[in-house]
Structure 1
């Protein structure tokens, strides 16, 4: 089993909303370009590898937002969704090549098949679960070949292209890295054959290990290797007790009716990954610590990633290392509110992790002012005695 030595750590841009309390407008925050710019610039300065932008009709469009924010950042990468079945592969390839070029090679691609039949119908997609993955496979074949500079003529069951090609190629060759999540057999088969990084939502480490081994074996059978990533929320504080208090505070405005309504809406999805998320807590707010320091409270009312690591910095770093030891090399983190929590995690935990991308200075000794000057005369140090 291949265990990553170094980690890529990304943050999240909350284009579907942000606030201090789940399921409540109290403490809610207006999410506009100005706020998203604050989060992106903070993530860039703190040393995150990139940011994930969500996709769907509940979100601002990820391509438009990423295009706007790329000009405000220097190193930050943008993990943006392509949606097979919503875009033609040739148009998606042109969009990809353009954004990758104008950002200087800072584009990452999240391939999203979509698991909500109601939303899919609203978008004009009326395909069964496995048929959507058939479309995804055909889409990726055309999309990757065009990004690599090929002229493509092909006719599949769902997609047909004649002399599809790019004139202006992407900055990254043969194409930006492809990320993908799908827990069903159909999804895993597509991942094994086509993508670079397989993503899972934050299940307990034992379940993640099983999924990693399943995908790795399928990829090996196809003569390929796939890297692995995980999507998690995080609540990190100076002490474990403070972190758990913050977690409980996040759901303190939730009532049972809101939870039941949210779970009913999520149950309509035919996503296997979403079903696995719901099964972790069963809608029961008394059974939320599903593994040491892994809390499923977010999933009471949020679709997609529904678990958070909860603890002090050392505890969170150790829990992340548990996932690293089962093969996870990419972590996509988030927290409420996303601006403050980008700093909380970035300042407390990032310095403890073996990153394979540039991290911020760990102390004032490395140059510049980090922290407040002491008595107008002395640079602060990384740690000081409390006595």
Structure 2
């Protein structure tokens, strides 16, 4: 295990543009995810000191670019991790969109490069390519896209992409364009990351599996003379005690029935995503054995594609697990919790104070009524900090 912990962490939250609620796999406890609700989540993340928010992509989600464009003006420091889709959009168009949103957000855009791993959804989007071909498209796409955002005029002819005299006239705020984030566990994906990506992302597998994967990516990047940063995508269920946290995890899937789980697993099985296969293997579609590591739970993945694991425990336990992943070289943590508005506050209040956060470095201590002291007692006095009863 590599002990390359960073001094500070970037903590992201998640915008649930594909739905939100108190329980998985049911309408019970569900809530409308409209613009006012997304505004609440984004404003909470901004005010609580999160580094940024991930906006998901795919046919099950609202469009990530339109959502980011709607929310950026109402936030101050929050960054938006928004997807480009090689094969679904031409690189020149994607570069213009990125440069525009980077300017409109005053440099708060981060790009999530998503190749797509569901052949059925891909065909619905007009993409009829196999796994290897999609990553070839991604390599060609990024060659053109990255050069455009560096201010070059580009002529390029590949197996899938061809442009002549491509250029963008209005540059991004961030030099050379917004940073590129990317996740993928296949050999083709790791090659893309090693050659063209700034931050490599993994889903929340057990510590040993993550260490093994990052070692491969790090070695491949070093062979190319490059150094990457690293991130991880996890859900989180934190409560004041471990017992309360595990009880909350059980409640989250309390309304799941076997038919719903089987239907979800059938969809995941048709995918040619190596990362999704690794996620599914953690639980094999069964409720048995969902605790797959210290404070690591695979229950979310029973019905949710992509990131399917959660850190579950007390604030101290969750912080310790985060520090263990940090020791592998991970400095970007993308979290979510159900419901996303309440859990953004809970995680910020219980866990953030236990971690060194890059995003909070410039935050000034608040006082008077903006300080974290609770409700005034008897309309007369502010409560004092509670003393541990140890």
- State the TM bucket, normalised to the shorter chain: over 0.9
- Residue 73 in structure 1 maps to residue 68 in structure 2: no
The offset of 1:373, in angstroms, is 2.5
Whole-Å Cα distance in 1 between the matches of residues 120 and 208 of structure 2? 32
Q: Which moved more, 1:263-272 or 1:349-358?
A: 349-358
> How far is 1:357 from its partner?
1.3
* Counterpart position of 1:344: 346
CA distance in 1, matches of 2:241, 2:258: 29
* Correspondence for 1:5: 7
What are the equivalent positions in structure 2 for 1:211-230 lying under 5 Å apart? 211-230=213-232
The root-mean-square deviation of aligned C-alpha atoms, in Å, is 1.6
Consecutive unaligned residues of structure 2, counting only runs of 5 or more, are: none
The TM-score with structure 1 as length reference comes to: 0.97
Shift of 1:376: 3.7
SS in 2 for 1:71: helix
Query: Which residue does 1:164 correspond to in 2?
Result: 166
Matches within 5 A, 1:35-50: 35-50=37-52
**Alpha-carbon shift at residue 139 of structure 1 (Å):** 0.4
2-structure distance, mates of 1:115, 1:308: 22
Does the 8 A contact of 1:199 with 1:229 survive in 2? yes
**Which of the residues 346, 358, 374 maps onto 2:377?**
374
Query: What does the per-residue CA deviation read over 1:96-129, in whole Å, with 9 as the maximum and x for residues that have no partner?
Result: 0000001010000000000000000000001110
Which has the higher mean CA deviation after the structures are superposed, 341-350 or 354-363? 354-363
1:122-157 C-alpha deviation (Å, 9 max, x unpaired) = 000011101100000000010010001000001011
TM-score when normalising by structure 2: 0.96
CA distance in structure 1 between the partners assigned to 2:201 and 2:386 by the alignment:
36
Q: 1:377 to 1:353 in 2, by over 3 A?
A: same
- Offset, 1:49: 0.2
Counterpart in 2 of 1:202?
A: 204
Q: How big is each residue's C-alpha offset from its partner over 1:155-211, in whole Å with a ceiling of 9 and x where there is no partner?
A: 011100101111100000111110000100000000000011000000001100011
Match of 1:270 in 2: 272
Detail structure 1 runs of 4+ shifted over 4 Å in the superposition: 359-367
Q: Deviations over 1:349-370 (max 9, x none)?
A: 1111111112697976698432
Change in CA separation of 1:40 and 1:382 when aligned onto 2, cut-off 3 Å: farther
Secondary structure in structure 1 of the residue aligned to 2:282: helix
- Number of equivalent positions: 387
Residue 195 of structure 2 is aligned to residue 190 of structure 1: no
SS in structure 1 opposite 2:164?
Answer: strand
The match for 1:114 among 99, 113, 116 is: 116
The separation in 2 between residues aligned to 1:38 and 1:302, in whole angstroms, is 23
2:236 match: 234
What's the secondary structure of 1:233's corresponding residue? strand
Inter-partner Cα distance in structure 2 for 1:141 and 1:316? 39
Match of 1:175 in 2: 177
CA distance in 2, matches of 1:244, 1:360: 35
For structure 1, list consecutive stretches of 5 or more residues without a partner in the other structure. Answer: none
Contact 1:47-1:360 within 8 A present in 2 as well: no
For residues 234-313 of structure 1, the aligned pairs below 5 Å read 234-313=236-315
In the alignment, the residues of structure 2 paired with residue 76 and residue 364 of structure 1 have an alpha-carbon distance, to the nearest angstrom, of 19
CA distance in 1, matches of 2:105, 2:97: 12
**CA deviation after TM superposition for structure 1 residue 345, in Å:** 0.4
